[in-house]
Amino acid sequence: MDIQGSKFILGQSISKTIENTQDEITMDLSLQPSTNEIIYGPKYDSFTVTSLGYVPEISISATTATLYGDLSITSNRKFVQGFGLVTSKAILNINVLTAGIYNLTIQYLSQYSDATLIVDINGDENTYNFSQTVDLQESNALTITVEVDLVVGENTISLYNNISSSPQIGNLAFTYTEIPSSITLQPSSWNIVSPASLLSNGYVGGIGNNGGYIVIPVTVTNAGVYNLVIRYLSGDSNTIVKIDVNGTDTGTSYTFPKTTDWEISNSELLEVNINLNKGINSVKFYNSPNAPGPHIGEVTFTQQFFNETIDAEDTTLMGTAEVVSGGLVSGIAYGLGKLNFNINAPGTGDYNLSIKYSATNAEKTARIFLNEVYWGEYTFDTTDGSNPAKYKQIEVYLNVGNNTIEIS
């Protein structure tokens, strides 16, 4: 580029000096094609890291809705009041990444014993009843929870009523109800290595006797932490078992409390957490030679969902990055401003990174680095006044323990 003939607006000073005409310097900038403008990223609201298959809760205040008619916000700025006239309506929009049935929890205050409100989701309206609250103080607010059907992408929620007996409305929370992925396996499907053996009662005995052990193959669709529930018998004394997952010792010797005798009617359950990879895994139960372990019955693996949200204003900001109105972070551009935050992942594998953001202009991009390694560049859709926030979901690979996510 012609450093004398081109003009660029830089969001910060670059600490490099041209001493003479022969010097060369390198600066990392993000510029739009055919222009001299730096491409800044969107304004960031929050970052949520979850296990694959987990849908984080979406919470929004009715006070952020577009209000029509006689609707107004209460003096404490927490509730919307004035429902009941035909012209009074609150409209807000939310974006979801997963379609399906959600639990909608509505926070409210009501001076009426027969209050009602119509909730319209994408044109499907339903009338709900709200019981009377002690008074109209926020501390005495109640909630009701109803099921609503949401589509992928933008959903329009309208709140209104045709009678004056209406509640004041505060926060609305949309929660997707997951059924955790569970797999139950019986001893007959395991690899049992002698002198361990399948007993007549369906349990495996002999684990630890002269090196006996079992290997349980388990296939899961998502990597992550799984709760392993083990049904066992341990007689009149405590016993110990060690567990390897995919050839790696968990580092723990698990104690199985005594069960009085060896009758299956007295069997007990022991729960441990282990990390599984996506696809086929092998879980080995063993013990030191000549140290008999418990008798093992069926086992159940249930995925444990990980979910952590960090507000953008609580991240580490560098360069031109700054907190602006509403707690959003602006001024992120590659080579100029960036932010980073740490995530303590429960296991190694793939996770979803959901970015809540606002972008009133097109061509908003961001570069993501995971543990100082470039992961990719992403474009963000525009938002508007009626829908000031959207979510961008990106699949990322994290290591067990601490991870640093950087956005520039």
Residue 29: what pLDDT? 54
The helix (run of H) or strand (run of E) holding residue 33 is none
d(CA 373, CA 367): 11
Query: The tokens of 219 are what?
Result: 């296939």
The helix (run of H) or strand (run of E) holding residue 273 is strand 268-276
Q: 39: closest CA among 329, 363, 336?
A: 363
Average pLDDT (174-200) is: 90
Fold of 182-303: Jelly Rolls (2.60.120)
- Report the DSSP beta bridge partners of residue 390: 357
Average pLDDT (241-252) is: 93
Cβ atoms 84, 71 nearer than 8 A = no
What CATH superfamily is the domain 58-176?
A: Galactose-binding domain-like (2.60.120.260)
Q: For the chain, give the percent of residues with pLDDT over 70.
A: 88
pLDDT above 60 (res 7): no
- C-alpha gyration radius of the chain: 29
Residue 10: what pLDDT? 45
pLDDT above 50 (res 12): no
pLDDT digits (tens, 9 = 90+) for 100-132: 899 999 999 999 888 999 999 999 999 999 999
- pLDDT range class, residue 265, cuts 50, 70, 90: very high
Q: Which of 109-113, 129-133, 222-226, 334-338 has the lowest mean pLDDT?
A: 222-226
Residue 41: what pLDDT? 87
Q: If one looks up domain 1-54+306-408 in CATH, what number appears?
A: 2.60.120.260
**Highest averaged pLDDT of the listed ranges 1-10, 17-26, 218-227, 387-396:** 218-227
The overall longest dimension of the chain from CA atoms, in Å, is 89
State if pTM tops 0.75: no
Residue 212: what pLDDT? 93
Cβ atoms 255, 230 nearer than 8 A = no
Average pLDDT (7-26) is: 53
- pLDDT range class, residue 17, cuts 50, 70, 90: low
Residue 4: what pLDDT? 38
Residue 307: what pLDDT? 86
Cβ atoms 118, 161 nearer than 8 A = yes
Backbone angles phi, psi at 139, to 5 degrees: -65, -20
Asked if omega into 167 is within 30° of 0 (cis), the reply is no
Average pLDDT (174-190) is: 87
Domain with CATH 2.60.120.260 in the chain: 1-54+306-408, 58-176, 182-303
Average pLDDT (305-315) is: 92
